């Protein structure tokens, strides 16, 4: 009888264990399904975000490409206008960079500076100016006058010939990194009207200075 009772108890215990294992299996399957669903949802969200970022990057690329095309068009237009100024102007025009190096000049500027075209590019514009006036032609130089251009008068000291009093206008960054200076020789004047202040006196018959 004892053996039978032990057998029955063992069988009941085994059934309980099997039931527990079955419940554990069901729980594991349910948990796995939930985790799988969550992972799928998360992956779906990540995919949507990736697609959104991709669309944003494509749009940004189009914007950059359009902006670049417009900038190139503006630069080409400015370069064309600058070339036209150099060709058409009968008065001296000089193009310089931030280091004051001469990048381009027309024939009238060569005459004003007393230098040949072959030798012009060896010089900075500083070589033709008194040291105290060099900063008039710097990108971050003094601002005087009300217009966007810096206007005033200075002395040009050519390599050949006597110094000349000229009126000038200086426009920074006419094209990126290139600054345009225009000069007008003041006939019959041997001294500057100004003292320390660079803007010419209003009594001067200036082409640019009011």
Q: Alpha-carbon distance 29 to 130, whole Å? A: 91
pLDDT at residue 99 above 80?
Answer: yes
pLDDT at 96: 92
Give CA–CA dist 64/189, Å, rounded: 53
Residue 93: pLDDT above 80?
yes
Q: Is residue 210 very low, low, confident or very high in pLDDT (cuts 50, 70, 90)?
A: very low
When the pLDDT of each residue in the chain is averaged and rounded to a whole number, the result is 75
Select from 86, 127, 128 the least CA-distant residue to 106: 86
- Band of the pLDDT at 180, cuts 50, 70, 90? very high
Is 0.75 topped by the overall pTM? no
Share of the chain above pLDDT 90, in %: 19
Q: Would you place residue 183 in the very low, low, confident or very high pLDDT band (cuts 50, 70, 90)?
A: very high
Q: Assess contact for 177 and 132: CB atoms under 8 A.
A: no
């Amino acid at each position: 009888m004892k053996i039978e009772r032990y057998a029955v108890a063992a069988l009941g215990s085994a059934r309980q264990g099997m039931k527990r294992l079955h419940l554990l299996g069901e729980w594991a399957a349910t948990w796995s399904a939930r985790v799988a669903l969550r992972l799928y949802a998360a992956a779906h969200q990540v995919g949507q975000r990736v697609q959104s970022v991709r669309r944003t990057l494509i749009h940004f690329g189009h914007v950059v490409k359009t902006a670049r095309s417009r900038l190139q068009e503006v630069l080409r237009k400015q370069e064309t206008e600058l070339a036209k100024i150099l060709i058409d102007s009968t008065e001296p025009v000089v193009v310089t960079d931030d280091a004051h190096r001469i990048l381009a000049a027309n024939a009238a500027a060569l005459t004003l500076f007393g230098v040949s075209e072959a030798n012009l590019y060896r010089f900075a514009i500083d070589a033709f100016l008194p040291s105290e006036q060099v900063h008039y032609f710097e990108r971050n130089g003094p601002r005087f006058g009300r217009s966007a251009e810096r206007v005033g008068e200075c002395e040009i000291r050519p390599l050949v010939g006597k110094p000349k009093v000229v009126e000038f206008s200086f426009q920074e960054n006419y094209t990126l990194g290139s600054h345009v200076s225009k000069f007008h020789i003041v006939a019959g004047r041997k001294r500057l009207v100004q003292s320390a202040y660079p803007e010419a006196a209003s009594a001067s018959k200036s082409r640019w200075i009011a």
